[in-house]
């Protein structure tokens, strides 16, 4: 599957967001929220996905709970959406864990295991029986049978079967999670262990039933704008590849939503580049073998929770969001800041940073434009007050951070950039090895991106990867290059 | 005489957010598959989403004069096949 391909589940989630925003802006938010499942599946309408209209509505109701920013697991089925809508407008801070699982949408997939299909020919060679190190395969009635108690799911038999008759059945969310934080519980439903979860959002993208949801903060942001607060948007570089318009048109469109001003987080990325380059040089001079970058929130969570031995090798430089939010709060101490994020992991980073009040992903921003009927391509152009370098704007693309840092390093310094393009079980094993040995055999400046492709591949993006990359690259190429010794 | 089919993928904001971002691959895919028998392009808002709650049926694609609602790559290719028959 291509990276961040939008699917039918995204369509449902986005439709609910649009309806929620329209409800909030209407004269009866609570009642119009309660009606969302009925408006989407009115009496007599067809039932596209589930057993009956009632289950469809029940699931849409739960999806709306996530849209209101609440935990579906904790919301009692008997509580009306109107009551929850009211409750959503009462809170001052978003709920702590950014993800929630909708068990009524979770299929409770069959457990992950190795399975012999009907294609088994009961051949004479029997490579599956011979290759299995655990003695788990025997022939019964002329066909291979796996003893589940002995099978370790190593997959050797899958590889050796000449008929490709043996297959691994996977649970998509479990399979996508790089840290085994999402597992089926006793009843077979997916459950997230937030002690382990690094908020990377891979399970959100992987579940074919759309059962994993981000808890939206859209109501919180709308509420602050309605209250007349000075709400300021901070745009992660990845957004410049997301919607069919120029960067300046995007700023104009965001101002129309009611924001007081719009900053590019690339502005902070320029500070990250300079600080990180100086840090790398100093570390190498002090004998360090390697250093990793520190701007990906998913990676930072990974190190904190799963690879503490990597901490001495991770850069102490702050993220572009950190520096940008600091600038915004210095210039506007009374501002409410909203980070426009390509991924779920940044929600977690924002919760730890008092300078970042809320986070919206690009699905939510897009839904907001839809709700207001704003045509971004027809918007006028608004100038950004501060500029950022081409390299900073290219942070959204895998390899972009290392490339920017490298540009500022003196030539005599032996710099070998390496890019970890997406966290998965293998790349995490590699990182653990580097941390344990204190050496990375393939380079010394390691950029880590949780999502393949970098931030443009984030789970909260709207545009497909290729056109997003094309559009962002155009913007990067129109920007001033980073000044060396500047 | 060969029939010629016109395909217009709406790239207005609503369609884009609701999924036409993913239909952009048609703009590369269709000419490879059908050559000059099918003319495909991304177009500004077709205006179909603004009526009532019709945003929920976006993205829209126009194949000749026919509107494909909740368009997917598969749906559009099927419609093209139908037109070429």
The sign of the dihedral angle between the CA atoms of A134, A139, A143, A147 is negative
Contacts of B13 in chain A (CB under 8 A): 243-244, 366, 369-370, 374-377
C-alpha dihedral (A291, A295, A301, A305), degrees to nearest 10: 10
Query: Chain A residue with minimal CA distance to B10?
Result: A244
Smallest CA–CA distance from B50 into chain A, residue: A373
Alpha-carbon A416 to chain mean position: 28
Q: Give the closest of B18, B45, B55 to A375, CB-based.
A: B45
Mark yes or no for CB contact B17/A366 under 8 Å: yes
| Closest B-chain CA to A376 | B13
Q: How far apart are CA A467 and CA B65, in angstroms?
A: 27
Q: Is A218 exposed, middle or buried (0-12, 13-18, 19+ CB in 10 A)?
A: buried
Query: What integer pLDDT is reported at residue A109 of this predicted model?
Result: 81
Q: Which domains does chain A have, with CATH numbers?
A: 8-108+200-211 (no CATH), 113-169 (3.30.70.20), 220-477 (3.40.950.10)
**CATH code of the domain containing B37:** 3.40.30.10
Of residues A243, A366, A377, nearest to B44 (C-beta):
A377
- Classified as helix, coil or strand, A260 is coil
Contacts of A244 in chain B (CB under 8 A): 11-13, 16
Give chain B's end-to-end CA distance (angstroms, integer).
12
Q: Using 50, 70 and 90 to split pLDDT, how confident is the model at B52?
A: low
Q: Does A373 touch chain B (CB under 8 A)?
A: yes
Contacts of A367 in chain B (CB under 8 A): 17
A14 vs B18, B22, B25: nearest CB: B18
Task: Name every residue in B having a CB less than 8 A away from some CB of A.
Answer: 11-14, 16-19, 21-22, 24-25, 44-45, 49-50, 53, 55-56, 70
- Interchain proximity A369–B19, CB inside 8 Å: no
Tell me which chain B residues have a C-beta less than 8 angstroms from the C-beta of A40.
Answer: 56
Question: What's the pLDDT at A242?
Answer: 97
Contact: A244, B22; criterion CB under 8 Å: no
8 A C-beta contact, residue B34 and residue B85? no
What confidence score (pLDDT) does residue A386 get?
94
All residues at 6 or more sequence positions from B8 whose CB lies less than 8 Å from its CB, including other chains = B40, B41, B42, B43, B46, B61, B62
Handedness of CA A308, A311, A313, A317 (dihedral sign): positive
Q: Which helix H or strand E contains B40, and what residues bound it? A: strand B38-43
| Contacting A residues, span 31-90, partner chain B, CB-CB under 8 Å | 39-40
Distance CA A207, CA A77 (A): 23
Sequence-ordered list of residues with C-beta below 8 angstroms from that of A105, at least 6 positions apart, any chain: A59, A62, A63, A209, A210, A211
Separation between Cα atoms, residue A273 and residue A260, nearest integer Å: 28
Query: Is A463 an interface residue toward B (CB < 8 Å)?
Result: yes
| Cβ neighbours, 10 Å, residue A330 | 10
- By Cβ distance, the residue of A18, A377, A462 closest to B21 is A462
Contacts of A469 (CB under 8 A, 6+ apart): A241, A397, A453, A456
Cross-chain residue pair A374–B44, CB shorter than 8 Å: no
The ipTM (two decimal places) reads 0.93
User: From B19, which residue of chain A is nearest by alpha-carbon distance?
Assistant: A6
pTM: 0.93
Q: How far is residue A243 from each of residues A49, B18, B19, measured CA to CA in Å?
A: 29, 11, 11
Q: Tell me the pLDDT tens digit for each residue of B56-77.
A: 999 999 999 999 999 999 999 9
Hey, is A287 helix, strand or coil?
coil
Look at residue A484 in the predicted model and tell me its pLDDT. 86
Block means of pLDDT (10 residues each) for chain A, 486 residues, are 59 95 97 97 89 93 97 92 96 93 84 92 94 95 93 93 94 94 89 96 93 96 98 98 97 98 98 98 96 97 98 98 98 98 97 98 97 96 96 98 96 94 96 96 96 96 95 97 80
Inter-chain residue contact B13 with A15, CB threshold 8 Å: no
Q: Which of residues 236-255 of A touch B (CB under 8 A)?
A: 243-244
In the predicted structure, residue B3 carries a pLDDT above the cut 80? no
- pLDDT for the residue numbered A225: 98
Domain with B36, as residue range(s), is 5-84
Q: Using CB atoms within 10 A of its CB, is residue A182 exposed (0-12), middle (13-18) or buried (19+)?
A: buried
Quick check: A369 and B13 CB within 8 A? yes
Q: Is any Cβ of chain B less than 8 angstroms from the Cβ of A326?
A: no
8-state DSSP, A113: E
Of B21, B45, B55, nearest to A463 by CB-CB distance is B21
Residues of A in contact with B49 (CB under 8 A): 370
Residues of B in contact with A374 (CB under 8 A): 13
Question: How far, in Å, CA of A286 to CA of B63, rounded?
Answer: 65
Q: Does A14 touch chain B (CB under 8 A)?
A: yes
Q: In this structure, what token pair is assigned to residue A171?
A: 């649970």
The pair of three-digit structure tokens given for residue B50, joined into one six-digit string? 């603004």
Are A370 and B19 a contacting pair at CB < 8 A?
Answer: no
B13 closest CB neighbour out of A5, A15, A376: A376
Domain count, chain B: 1
Top residue of B11, B21, B53, B74 to mutate, by most chain A CBs within 10 Å, is B21
Tell if the CB–CB gap between A11 and B19 is shorter than 8 Å.
Answer: yes
Q: Which residues pair with A417 in a beta bridge?
A: A445
Q: Of A76, A453, A107, A403, which is closest to residue A272 (Cα–Cα)? A: A403
């Amino acid at each position: 599957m291509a990276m961040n391909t939008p699917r039918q589940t995204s369509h449902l989630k986005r439709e609910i967001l649009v309806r929620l925003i329209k409800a909030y802006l209407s004269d009866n938010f609570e009642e119009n929220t309660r009606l969302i499942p009925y408006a989407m599946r009115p009496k007599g309408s067809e039932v596209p996905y589930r057993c009956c209209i009632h289950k469809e509505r029940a699931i849409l109701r739960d999806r709306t709970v996530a849209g209101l920013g609440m935990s579906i697991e904790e919301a009692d089925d008997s509580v009306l959406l109107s009551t929850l809508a009211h409750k959503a407008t009462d809170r001052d801070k978003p709920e702590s864990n950014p993800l929630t699982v909708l068990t009524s949408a979770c299929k409770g997939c069959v457990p992950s295991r190795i399975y012999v299909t009907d294609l088994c020919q009961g051949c004479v060679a029997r490579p599956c029986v011979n290759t299995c190190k655990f003695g788990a395969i025997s022939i019964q009635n002329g066909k291979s049978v796996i003893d589940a108690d002995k099978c370790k799911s190593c997959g050797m038999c899958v590889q050796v079967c000449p008929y490709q008759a043996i297959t691994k059945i996977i649970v998509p969310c479990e399979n996508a999670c790089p840290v085994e934080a999402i597992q089926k519980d006793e009843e077979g439903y997916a459950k997230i262990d937030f002690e382990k979860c690094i908020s990377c959002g891979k399970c959100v993208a992987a579940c074919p039933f759309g059962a994993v949801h981000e808890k939206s903060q859209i109501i919180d942001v709308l509420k602050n704008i309605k209250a007349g607060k000075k709400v300021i948007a901070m745009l992660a570089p990845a957004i410049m590849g997301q919607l069919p318009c120029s960067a300046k048109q995007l700023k104009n469109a965001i101002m129309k939503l009611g924001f007081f001003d719009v900053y590019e987080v690339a502005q902070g990325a320029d500070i990250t580049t300079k600080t990180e380059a100086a840090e790398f040089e100093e570390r190498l001079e002090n004998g360090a073998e390697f250093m990793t970058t520190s701007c990906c929130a998913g990676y930072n969570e990974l190190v904190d929770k799963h690879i503490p031995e990597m901490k001495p090798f991770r850069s102490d430089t702050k993220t572009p969001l950190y520096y940008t939010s600091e600038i915004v709060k210095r210039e506007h101490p009374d501002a409410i800041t909203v980070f426009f994020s390509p991924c779920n992991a940044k929600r977690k980073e924002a919760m730890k940073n008092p300078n970042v009040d809320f986070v919206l992903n690009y699905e939510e921003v897009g839904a907001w434009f839809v709700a207001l009927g704003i045509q971004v391509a027809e918007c006028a152009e608004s100038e950004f007050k501060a500029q950022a370098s081409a390299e900073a704007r290219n942070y959204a693309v895998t390899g972009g951070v290392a490339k920017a840092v490298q540009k500022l390093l003196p030539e005599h310094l032996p710099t070998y950039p390496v890019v970890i393009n997406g966290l998965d079980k293998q790349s995490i094993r590699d990182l653990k090895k580097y941390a344990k040995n204190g050496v990375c055999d393939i380079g010394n400046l390691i950029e880590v991106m949780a999502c393949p492709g970098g931030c443009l591949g984030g789970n909260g993006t709207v545009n497909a990867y290729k056109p997003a990359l094309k559009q962002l690259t155009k913007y990067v190429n129109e920007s001033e290059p980073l000044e060396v010794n500047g | 005489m060969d029939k010629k089919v016109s395909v217009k993928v709406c790239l207005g904001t609503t369609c884009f957010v609701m999924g036409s971002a993913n239909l952009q691959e048609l703009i590369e895919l269709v000419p490879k598959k059908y050559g000059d028998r099918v003319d495909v392009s991304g177009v500004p808002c077709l205006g179909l989403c603004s009526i009532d709650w019709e945003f929920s049926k976006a993205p829209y694609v126009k194949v000749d004069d026919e509107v494909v609602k909740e368009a997917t790559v598969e749906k559009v290719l099927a419609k093209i096949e139908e037109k070429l028959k």
